[in-house]
Amino acid sequence: MDYLIHIAVFCCIYTVLAESLDLLVGHAGILSLVHAAFYATGAYTCAIIAVHLQWPFPVALLLGCASSGVVAFGVAALSIRLRGDLFVIATFACHVVILGVVANWIGLTRGPLGIFDIPHAVVLGCSLDTGWQYALMALTMALLAWAVVQLLVSSPFGRVLHAVREDDVLAMALGKNVFYFKSLAFIVAGVLAAGAGGIYAHYMRFIDPTSFTVMESILIASMVIIGGAGSRWGPVVGAVLLICLPEVLRVLGLPGSVAAHLRQIIYGVLLVVMMRLRPQGLVGHFAFGR
């Protein structure tokens, strides 16, 4: 049972990440590879506050989200005016820089050694020390992220994002500040991803830079694209599928070392097959990149 709850927690955490990235990829049409850095910012901020300052978890989570929002603003300011491939490369570079800071600011983050013994989150006086409690919190966060994205994309704000996705020249001709809307979407995505990071840090009780590499960003983007970018349920389907897939390999009895490599191969093949045969994803309607 604990194993299933553990999978459920990860499904919810990655749903938050995929849903938040979908605001950029699926609704604003911009592929970002910096998402795991926002996830890391939230995780590290929460962990540092919990370990060094012992502030309440909700405060740490809010500060984690705020700091990620600031980082996202910085990344947006640096990269949002670039187009297409250049933008993707710029976000990749920003990810490398942010993770470089995390890995080398030893005094604050303990660098490659990571931060361990992160205390369990305490919410409303109740210490969350069981898996199902974290599953409940992660589910709440996933529902919140889903609701925020759905509220935004079904509003006039979302209408502009969709226009930016399809034709930013038209959006400009209609008086919409394309860079402003893209930047806001970037900040919202960063804030939501940080929420997932905060829960991850307290749940795992240990974080180090290897959990937030660019492969993590690619995994999140794969979830969005395979599930269906720009659709209501696509990111949820993608997150659950790609989290559960390795577990199926485990059930098949493959050795851990083989399963880990096989997982990467399956992700890659799945991504290529989807882009070729069903670019709108499993449950989506917007064909990313077309």
Partner 1 sequence: MRTLSCKQLRKCFGGIRAVADIELEFPEPGITAIIGPNGAGKTTLVNILTGFVRADAGHCYLGKRETTQLAPHRIAQLGVTRSFQELRLVQQASVIDNVMLARPRQLGERLWRALFRVGVAVEETSSRREAIGILHALDLDDKTHALASELSYGQQKLLSLALCLATEARIIFLDEPVSGVHPELTARILSLLRGLAENGKLIIFVEHDLAAVREIADRVIVMDEGQVIADGAPADVLHRPEILEAYVG
Q: Compute the least distance from the CB of residue 13 to partner 1, in Å.
A: 22
Q: Compute the least distance from the CB of residue 285 to partner 1, in Å.
A: 8
Conformational region of residue 77, where left means phi above 0, alpha means psi within -120 to 50, and beta covers everything else? alpha
Nearest partner of 199 among 147, 140, 278, 114, judged by Cα:
140
Contact positions vs partner 1 (CB under 8 A): 148, 151-152, 155-160, 162-163, 166-167, 169-178, 181, 184, 188, 285-286
CA distance 134 to 12: 10
Q: Compute the least distance from the CB of residue 276 to partner 1, in Å.
A: 21
SS (H, E, C) the chain: CHHHHHHHHHHHHHHHHHHHHHHHHHHCCCCCCCHHHHHHHHHHHHHHHHHHHCCCHHHHHHHHHHHHHHHHHHHHHHHCCCCHHHHHHHHHHHHHHHHHHHHHCHHHHCHHHCEECCCCCEECCEECCCHHHHHHHHHHHHHHHHHHHHHHHCCHHHHHHHHHHHCHHHHHHCCCCHHHHHHHHHHHHHHHHHHHHHHHHHHHCEECHHHHCHHHHHHHHHHHHHHCCCCCCHHHHHHHHHHHHHHHHHHCCCCHHHHHHHHHHHHHHHHHHHHHHCCCCCCCCCCCCC
Q: Which is nearer to partner 1, 38 or 57 (CB)?
A: 38
Q: Which is nearer to partner 1, 129 or 167 (CB)?
A: 167
Q: Which is nearer to partner 1, 18 or 161 (CB)?
A: 161
Q: Which is nearer to partner 1, 92 or 157 (CB)?
A: 157
First to last CA, the chain: 43
Q: Compute the least distance from the CB of residue 199 to partner 1, in Å.
A: 21
Q: Compute the least distance from the CB of residue 90 to partner 1, in Å.
A: 20
Q: Compute the least distance from the CB of residue 184 to partner 1, in Å.
A: 5
Q: Which is nearer to partner 1, 159 or 261 (CB)?
A: 159
Q: Compute the least distance from the CB of residue 152 to partner 1, in Å.
A: 5
Structure tokens at 99: 């993770």
Q: Compute the least distance from the CB of residue 61 to partner 1, in Å.
A: 18
Q: Which is nearer to partner 1, 171 or 242 (CB)?
A: 171
Q: Which residue matches tokens 């999978």?
A: 7
Q: Which is nearer to partner 1, 170 or 244 (CB)?
A: 170
Q: Which is nearer to partner 1, 131 or 281 (CB)?
A: 281
